Amino acid sequence: MDQFTLNLLFVGASFALYIGIAIWARAGSTSEFYAAGRGVHPITNGMATAADWMSAASFISMAGLIAFVGYDNSTYLMGWTGGYVLLALLLAPYLRKFGKFTVSEFIGDRFYSQSARLVAVICLIIASVTYVIGQMTGVGVAFGRFLEVDNTTGLLIGAVIVFAYAVFGGMKGVTYTQVAQYVVLILAYTIPAIFISLQLTGNPIPGLGLFGEHQASGEPLLQRLDQMVRELGFAEYTTHHGDTFNMVLFTLSLMIGTAGLPHVIMRFFTVPRVSDARWSAGWALVFIALLYTTAPAVGAMARLNITEQFWPEGVAGEAVSVETIETSPDYNWMLTWRQTGLLGWEDKNGDGRIQYYNEKSADMQTVASERGWQGNELTNFNQDILVLANPEIANLPGWVIGLVAAGGLAAALSTAAGLLLAISSAVSHDLIKGSINPGISEKGELLSARIAMAVAIGVATYLGLNPPGFAAQTVALAFGLAAATIFPALMMGIFSKKINNHGAVAGMLAGLVVTLVYIFLHKGWFFIPDTNSFTDADPLLGTIKSTSFGAVGALVNFAVAYLVAGMTKETPREIQELVESVRIPRGAGSAQAGH
Amino acid sequence: MSEEKSNNAYWSANIRLIVWSLVIWALVSFGFGILLRPLISGIAVGGSDLGFWFAQQGAILVFLALIFFYAWRMNRLDRDHGVDEQ
């Protein structure tokens, strides 16, 4: 059986599994969409949260970013897990006690203001659309490879499938489907990692293998990797090169953003009890950590494997020949990935070999002129392909490659569809029914939800063709926006009785505007390519990149809110009592559907 | 003890716990993982140093421990102050 059929088989089987579970769970329970969540055990809820949360950014993109940058991109690892500490300590139990289903409802009630609710909805929509753009980038990579077409075609086919999946909709809410998606996703991520870790270090646990010994050379794996990339003129893997201040800000933005994303927070509204909301955040992180402690190993080991494939005799020896690439089964992955347009090479000096090195390094330029190289001949290596290509690079069996295809699609599809559902309900329920046209019929509400979904996916697909960055980088921008708007409003709503309606609205607007403008200045207005005035290599403010600005936006939000609240009328008595009641678990009923 | 007072003691105990937890949260990530890495770089961990380990793995493990410790401690605090769900 060829690889294409095998991939199709695995992807088809995984989809049949999700749909089967959805039908089974539907038939078995009469309770409605959300209410189903109330009876869910914290462990099950944690697993479902993990599936919802880990998207194309975590699955497809993150390890590639770590592989090609090394230590400096540990920010993604710390940022996307550290946010759960904030969620568990600062938000989850209190929002559960409050007992409504959506984030904007909490903000509307706590700040006793329709405009606060409206502003929150707008912030949520902007952050979610940006998030979907990142997902679509990942969807394009996954479908391009899996259907063996170029990236653009893959993206367009993927968009249609995501749309159908989201419209089919209801199954997304069924916790057990998400549990199945988590299982597929985590197996697809860890099984190849275990194989590769065994090959390289003899240790079956990739997280331990990363700090273990490289069996072929007898040196520690990380030392071996550092040495190889250094010899090719690249920055050392384990050392710090970038700007420290920006690294701190970026990590903080990702952490705060995690705790401000609506589709994650919503999960904690539906657990049975306040104490369960605390446990749930912990269990979610357990299941996320399984992937997140594997990812750095995947990155480092893939970087080592790739480097060794291009320099089979070591850097001092000859590079791999074009003939080997085109004929040897070990290099088959390069031919299949070239079809997607995300990988490319060119024998510039016509010596029949492909020299892969850092042509920008001064030392390497000397070496190159001595050895007759005319520039780096691995002309294109899109970092987003690394995780999907990884099992092929390591020559793992065909079924592992099929499994990874199924896992990557599960990650991208589930999160993209979930976000589309969140966007459509925000537009139809909160925006149109909540304020513009309260008398809208149920049919009209449903229609506007569909239209919102179609518009969102259209925009995301268009921008996904020319994405503002790799999948994980675009997703990081969405986190910055959530960090600058929603998290501060929620936190102040719980921990400060002083913040009133005007303070919250002014704070959220200030956070949103400064962050959005800063991102657009660097990534192009509305992410349209070539409309930017600055680049992240040389940012407007010091060393602060646009991906890191969320933390600054959050600070602006807090400051403006306190300032405005101090100048305007005090929070009414009944709202102060509401805050008091949110702070203690006693008296928590089950969550109530919004009006 | 009046209801009001008991709640205040409960809330300040909670805030104390949150602050200490967040200090550890920041120490392992921003501290050991980034800013203090040069200070602890003498401690070798499998081919690299302790700061690298915290940034790529250690911080995540500490986060996990923190959340479970907080949940356990708070659920006990709820009962001690009589504000748990019944």
Q: Does a structural domain hold residue B11? A: yes
What's the token pair of residue B50?
Answer: 């302790």
pLDDT at position A169: 55
Tokens of A330: 């070990």
| Overall domain count for chain B | 1
Q: Calculate mean pLDDT across residues B27-36.
A: 95
Q: Which two tokens stand for residue B17?
A: 């716990």
Which candidate from B48, B52, B63 shows the least CB-CB separation from A85?
Answer: B63
List, in order, residues 6 or more apart from A432 with CB less than 8 Å away. Answer: A440, A445, A448
Q: Is B78 on the interface with A (CB under 8 A)?
A: yes
B15 is in which domain, residue-wise? 3-80
Q: How many other CB atoms are found less than 10 A from the CB of residue A489?
A: 29
pLDDT digits (tens, 9 = 90+) for B41-67: 889 888 899 999 999 999 999 999 999
What does the alpha-carbon distance between residue A288 and residue A297 come to, in Å, rounded to a whole number?
A: 15
Closest residue to B85, CB basis, from A81, A85, A586: A586
Q: Are B45 and A211 an interchain contact pair (Cβ–Cβ within 8 Å)?
A: yes
Tell me which chain B residue has its CA closest to the CA of residue A584: B83
Q: How many CB atoms lie within 10 A of CB A396?
A: 18
**CB contact A250 to B (< 8 Å):** no
Domains and CATH numbers, chain A: 3-301+395-583 (1.20.1730.10), 303-383 (no CATH)
Residue A90 contacts B, CB cutoff 8 Å: yes
One-letter amino acid of A556: V
Interchain contact B9–A (C-beta under 8 A): no
Amino acid letter at A15?
Answer: F
The residue whose two tokens read 């896992």 is A407
Contacts of B70 (CB under 8 A, 6+ apart): A88, A89, A278, B17, B18, B21
Residue B71 clears pLDDT 50, i.e. is over it: yes
Decide if B35 and A251 are in contact by the 8 Å CB cutoff. no
Q: Do B46 and A211 touch (CB under 8 A)?
A: yes
- Give the residue from A54, A10, A128, A15 showing the smallest Cα distance to A411: A54
Residue A553: its pLDDT value, please?
A: 96
Q: Does A580 contact B at CB distance below 8 Å?
A: yes
In three-state secondary structure terms, A535 is strand
Calpha distance A270→A35 (Å, rounded): 7
Work out the burial of residue A313: count CB atoms within 10 Å of its CB; fewer than 13 is exposed, 13-18 middle, 19 or more buried.
exposed
Q: Which three-class secondary structure state does DSSP give residue A592?
A: strand
Q: Which residue bears the tokens 């700090």?
A: A211
- Closest C-alpha to A134, from A427, A531, A510, A419: A419
Rounded CA separation A266/A321 (Å): 53
Q: Which residues of B touch A248 (CB under 8 A)?
A: 30, 34-35
Q: Does A540 touch chain B (CB under 8 A)?
A: no
Determine the distance in angstroms separating the CA of B1 from the nearest CA of chain A, rounded to an integer.
17
Q: Which residues of chain B lie closer than 8 angstroms to A220, CB-CB?
A: 46-48
Inside any domain, residue B86: no
The secondary structure of residue A220, as a DSSP letter, is B
DSSP A37: G
DSSP state of A239: S
* 266-295 in chain A: CB under 8 A from chain B: 273-275, 278-279, 281-282, 285-286, 289, 292-293
For residues A380 and A254, the answer to whether their CB atoms sit within 8 Å is no
Residue B40 lies in a domain: yes
Query: CA nearest A477: which of A492, A467, A487?
Result: A467
> Which residue type, as a one-letter code, is found at position A390?
N
Do A342 and A350 meet the contact criterion of CB atoms below 8 Å apart? no
Cα torsion for A476, A477, A478, A482, to the nearest 10°? 100
Find the length of chain B: 86
Distance (Å, rounded) from C-alpha A12 to C-alpha A3? 14
* B3 part of contact set with chain A, CB < 8 Å: no
Which segments of A123-202 are extended strands (E)?
A: none
Q: What residue type is assigned to position A576 of the chain?
A: Q
A585 with B7: Cβ contact below 8 A: no
Q: CA–CA separation, A428 vs A430, rounded Å?
A: 6
| B52 contacts on A by Cβ (under 8 Å) | 71, 74, 222, 238
| Structure tokens that stand for B21 in this block | 């937890």
Res. B1 pLDDT band, cuts 50 70 90? very low
Dihedrals φ, ψ of A522, to 5°? -100, -30
Distance between CA atoms of residues A533 and A527, nearest Å? 12
Q: Quote the crossing angle between the two packed helices A471-495 and A501-523, to the nearest 10°.
A: 170
Is B39 part of any domain?
A: yes
CA distance between the termini of chain B: 20
Q: Cβ of A381 under 8 Å from any chain B Cβ? A: no
CB A536 within 8 A of CB A547: yes
**Which letter does DSSP use for residue A434 in this model?**
I
pLDDT of residue B57: 95
Answer yes or no: are the C-beta atoms of A90 and A276 closer than 8 Å.
no
Q: Please indicate whether, in this complex, the C-beta atoms of A85 and B67 are within 8 angstroms of each other.
A: yes
CA distance B82 to chain A (A): 8
- The SS3 assignment for B45 reads strand
Neighbours of A125 (CB within 10 A): 20
Tokens of A414: 């589930």
Strand partners, A343: A381
Chain A residues touching B44 at Cβ < 8 A: none
> Are the beta carbons of A490 and A103 closer than 8 angstroms?
yes
DSSP output for A285-312: HHHHHHHHTTHHHHHHHHHHHHHHHH-T
Statement: residue B28 has pLDDT above 90: yes
**How big is the CA angle at A103 (ends A100 and A108), to the nearest 5 degrees?**
80
Q: How far is CA B12 from CA A151, A277, A583, B16, B17, in A?
A: 55, 20, 11, 6, 9
Contact A509, A572 (CB under 8 A): no
Q: Which residue of A has its CA nearest to B11?
A: A583
What is the reported pLDDT for A285?
94
CB pair distance less than 8 Å for B29 and A585: no
Angle at A225 between CA A223 and CA A227, to 5 degrees: 70
Task: Per-residue pLDDT tens, chain A, 595 aa: give them.
Answer: 788 888 889 988 988 888 787 777 654 443 444 444 456 778 888 888 888 888 888 888 899 999 999 999 999 999 999 999 999 999 999 998 887 777 888 999 999 998 999 999 999 999 998 888 888 888 888 888 788 888 888 889 888 888 877 776 544 456 777 888 899 999 999 999 999 999 999 999 999 999 999 998 899 999 999 999 999 999 999 999 889 999 999 999 999 999 988 878 877 877 778 888 889 899 999 999 999 999 999 999 999 999 999 999 888 888 999 999 999 988 988 998 888 888 999 998 989 999 999 989 888 999 999 898 998 999 988 888 888 888 888 888 888 988 998 898 888 877 887 788 778 878 887 888 777 777 878 788 778 888 888 888 888 888 888 887 777 888 889 999 999 999 999 999 999 999 999 999 999 999 999 999 999 999 888 888 888 888 888 888 888 999 999 999 999 999 999 999 999 999 999 999 999 989 988 877 665 544 4
Classify residue A270 by its DSSP letter: S
For A296, which of B56, B71, B83 is closest by C-beta distance?
Answer: B56
Please give the backbone phi and psi of residue A100, each rounded to the nearest 5 degrees, phi first: -110, 175
